Structure 1
Amino acid sequence: MNLGDDVIAAIEFWVPIAIVVGSALAAALHALLTRETPSSAFGWIGVSLLFPPLGPLLYYMFGVNRVRVRARRLDRDSRHGLGAHRPGADAALRDYDTYVLDRRLGLAAAGDRLSAWPVVEGNRVEMLNNGNEAYPQMIEAIDAATGFVYLTTYIFETNQAGRRFIDALARAAVRGVDVRVLIDGVGEWYALPGRRPVRMLEDVGVTVARFLPPRLWPPSLQLNLRNHRKILVTDRGIAFTGGMNIGDRHVVSGSAGVIDMHFSLTGPIVRQVEAVFLSDWAFATGRQDMTSSRIQTEQGSAACRAVENGPTRDIERLNVLLVTAVTSAYERIRIVTPYFLPGPALVGALQAAALRGIEVSIVLPEANNLPFVAWAARHDLGELLERGVNIYFQPRPFAHTKLFIVDDDYALIGSPNVDPRSLRLNFELAVELFDEATVGRLSEHVASLVERSRVYTHADLASRGWLARVRDSFFWLFSPYL
């Protein structure tokens, strides 16, 4: 064997070893620098170093947070970005002494650091229960528009309710109104087995765009990074937001349908909602527009602020705001949500509030359209019950309502659920309400839900059979992705 053969043999022997060892070290280093908890970092470092080459491969497949990486790349590549409003820890604090209660000034200050939007006074906020109340007012607003209609929704079904919206949007387009509809690229598929809404809207002359639609080439099959916002805003100075999509499911009759709550907003807050839509539209289409010049006059007593949430930059923005709101409570905290998978920080804050003597009540649906999310949620209810948190299950039909209320003078409304998908993976819109009258009505509504709901106790938790416990624990393992 000559020298050349020795070199080739050495290369064939050592190069694969170097690749395996190098990949293991690279994966371990990446986990050390990027994982969010010591246990997660230790786990992936151990898997990568002890089981090469399988360990690094598993880490690449399941350990790398591609959601955040992809979101930031999309934001960077866009000329407009989804994070146009960039607050920070050094953002200037505003003076709200004249229209925010003294005990909420700290929470308002936190919002200044988390959302670049200011709290604006003089808004009117109206609760709209189900599509029965919301849809007629939304269609009336579309019919009254003379300048523009902007609509964002996650799901746009093409059944009877959806067709009423399509007809109204078509009428506005015929009048020469600037009509734009933005539909999430994954949520659009909920319209099946009926016709998909994008084609139907295009056929009647409505300008429509998809938000990050899945495609085979170039490949983009991202199921995260969804636009979960629900927005309707017109040039007549009215906006709608909340938890409701568009479809027959939200038209409730007896025990049939999906219970939900939407809100109509008038006053200066409308401009902030309009700006959120235009930011999303710029990202989806490349077209950047300024907000309208219409002066939004004061309409009511509510002070409000829009809070955008999404994984492009401050992935913990909404979660931090919720924790801050919980720690500001003096008397009670009331949460209504269909999906309840809070992170450790929020769980700890709720437990601490209950231990301080704060009345903490969480209202969940008895029947859930995503049973695996409900099973995962039950796994964690025990530690909340242990600290004195009240858990209630409201009876059928399925309730999709999202409310977060503190002390009857502060509320957070909008599209977010209390789960990782809303708090970390989706683009959401929430609106802060600082107003005793408006929030008091919301609190009375939640109190009525509690009265007709079933109290969930330690006995209920303990009565689960071992198969149910295994099931709940199994799905809890996947709670960061549900």
Structure 2
Amino acid sequence: MTKQDVRAAIGWVAIVIFSPLLGALFYFFAGINRIRQERVSQQRVLQDHDLMLIERLVIKQSLPEWPHEFAALRRAGDSIARYKLLRGNSVELLDGGDQTYPAMLEAIADAKKSIAMQSYIFDHDRMGVRIAQALIDAHNRGVEIRVLIDAVGAKYSRPPITRMLMKGGVPTARFLPTAIGMRLAYANLRSHRKLLVIDGELALAGGMNIREGFTTEFGQNKMTRDTHFRIRGPATRQLMDSFAHEWEFTTKERLDGVQWFNSVNNVVQDANTPVRVVTSGPDRTLGANQSMVMAALSVAQHHVRIQSPYFLPDIVLIGALVTAARRGVIVDVVIPGNNNLKLVSAAMDAQLDQLVGAGVRIWKSTGTFDHSKLMAVDGLWSYAGSSNLDPRSLRLNFELDLEMYDQQMAHTIESRIDETIETSNRVTLESLRSKPFSIQLRNRLIWLASPYL
């Protein structure tokens, strides 16, 4: 009565029928979406002057000199996402930890009133300690700080960084702790968002966790690659609203006031990038990220470029990618040749033939692992953030992405993906079929568990 996907309903019914006791217990913990039953207010209170300013910044009509199909994409975004597309932003791509972590440290050091930080993984390693100490120093000089770390992600290192932060007086919370009691029922639902908001004016968001292996200083020639974004402008209010919602959900503390939500009259001079924040998760925003990707695929006319470390699209998304390719759109998808999650890599290989056979160009990158999640369409529109194109990101995780209508940013993302393609190996039907049958069978068996990898 509650499942929207007939395959999920059939699967759970089969599990319970064939194993009435263990199957029912497994469904009780992993199959029931209790998040939707938790109600927390979605928007902060806006003053009248803020409402008027937002109204002026919302893009309601076709973007000047843009193809008409992007007006349809903007309308689709208005109906899919919680937030509206706002003009007056500046967005800068930060390439890897060598650019992102110094930007974080500089922003924390410059904070005057507030710092809101959220991460899936915040390791207690040399880089994690460096950032944690910067947060403690900011707290000691009177800056209001809130740090939210996913409960599962917090366990990636020992001892967890939460101990250092709390010992230093920084208000810190774990999203959906699962150690005791009924919270075990939430173990499969994680917050995958990565966000830093300073004084309600500056934000850094994207795909990067806090781990020393993302820098040449510590990772050296095995450094993991990734991308993050520095945002100024009214979109920072949307990002802060997203954080405040999850903080209230986790701690019941409501964050309001100018120290957290600076006036939306934060338009950056000489910058007019339209940006929309897209939140998604197993609540009222279920499937928002997948819907945005599919809407973009439906309007693409020339070229779609996608980079994803974990690429396990469901049959609906596969259909959208294949349809775009059959319409004559060039669809390039870059995935890691050397994946950090071997089971996910095997499951990915199991379904690539469905895409390659229909004309989608799949590329396996060489070199070190790249954790970036990027998409660009026709050199005009781009989409980036924390969402992978796999069942966990599209249905189970809480994710945070940026939709950007900016030609320069789209070209920057396209250039980055094209540079990776130049040194990548193209996947063909022949290369997939040449693998030993035992490997193909193994991959298909692992693929059966792909919704939970």
- Both proteins in one fold, TM over 0.5: yes
Q: Secondary structure in 2 aligned to 1:255? A: helix
The answer to whether structure 1 residue 207 and structure 2 residue 171 are counterparts is yes
Letter in 2 for 1:201: L
Matching of residues 447-466 of structure 1 within 5 Å: 447-466=418-437
Judge conservation of contact 1:409–1:440 (CA < 8 Å) in 2: yes
- Structure 1 partner of 2:52: none
- What is the alpha-carbon distance in structure 2 between the residues aligned to residue 205 and residue 324 of structure 1? 45
Give deviations 1:34-55, integer Å, cap 9, x for gaps: 4622x6656766787xx6xx55
Change in Cα spacing, 1:133 to 1:228, as seen in structure 2 (3 Å) is same
Cα displacement (A) at 1:479:
1.0
**Residues in 2 aligned to 1:142 and 1:47: alpha-carbon distance in whole angstroms:** 49
1:286 correspondence with 2:252: yes
Q: Give the match's secondary structure for 1:220.
A: helix
SS in 1 for 2:350: helix
Match in the other structure for 1:182: 148
Q: CA deviation at 1:270?
A: 0.9
- 2:408 equivalent in structure 1: 437
**1:298 aligned onto 2:272:** no
2:300 equivalent to 1:329: yes
Q: Which of 220, 226, 242 is residue 206 of structure 2 equivalent to?
A: 242
Aligned counterpart for 1:474 among listed residues 439, 445, 453: 445
* Offset, 1:308: 0.5
Structure 2 counterparts to residues 122-271 of structure 1, below 5 A: 122-192=88-158, 195-217=159-181, 220=184, 222-235=186-199, 237-252=201-216, 254-271=220-237
Give the letter for the 1:401 counterpart: S
Instruction: Tell me the number of residue pairs that the alignment of Structure 1 and Structure 2 aligns.
Output: 433
Q: 1:42 to 1:139 in 2, by over 3 A?
A: closer
TM-score, with normalisation over the residues of structure 2?
0.90
Secondary structure of 1:380 counterpart: helix
Unaligned runs of 5+ in 2: 45-54
C-alpha displacement of 1:247: 1.5
Gaps of 5+ in 1: 1-29, 86-91
Checking the alignment, whether the CA contact within 8 Å between 1:260 and 1:401 is kept in structure 2 is yes
Tell me how far apart the structure 2 counterparts of residues 160 and 272 of structure 1 sit (CA, whole Å): 31
Matches within 5 A, 1:32-431: 34=3, 36-37=5-6, 54=18, 56-57=20-21, 60-61=24-25, 66-67=30-31, 69-73=33-37, 75-76=38-39, 80=40, 95-98=60-63, 101=66, 102-192=68-158, 195-217=159-181, 220=184, 222-235=186-199, 237-252=201-216, 254-290=220-256, 291-294=260-263, 295-299=265-269, 300-431=271-402
Which amino acid counterpart does residue 235 of structure 2 have in structure 1?
A: I
Counterpart CA distance in 2 for 1:177 and 1:335 is 39
Residue 314 to residue 169, structure 1, CA distance change in 2 (3 Å): closer
Preserved contact between residue 256 and residue 397 of structure 1 (Cα < 8 Å): yes
Q: Does the residue aligned with 1:246 lie in a helix, a strand or coil? A: coil
Q: Which whole-Å CA distance do the structure 2 matches of 1:65 and 1:407 have between them? A: 43
Instruction: Measure how far apart 1:389 and its partner are.
Output: 0.6
**Is the contact made by 2:364 and 2:424 (CA closer than 8 Å) also made in structure 1?**
yes
**Letter paired with 2:62:** D
Opposite residue 328 of structure 1, the aligned amino acid is: V
Change (3 A) 1:480 1:97: same
Matches of 1:139 and 1:268, distance apart in 2: 22
Shift in Å, 1:157: 0.8
Contact in 2 for aligned 1:99/1:121 (Cα 8 Å): no
Q: Which residue of 1 aligns with 2:51?
A: none
- Letter of the 1:229 counterpart: R
Distance in 1 of aligned mates of 2:200 and 2:76:
32
CA RMSD, 1 decimal: 2.3
Instruction: Give the structure with higher Rg (CA).
Output: 1
CA distance in 2, matches of 1:425, 1:219: 16
Q: Distance in 2 between matches of 1:107 and 1:367?
A: 34
For residues 346 and 398 of structure 1, do their structure 2 counterparts lie closer, same or farther at Cα, with a shift above 3 Å needed?
Answer: same
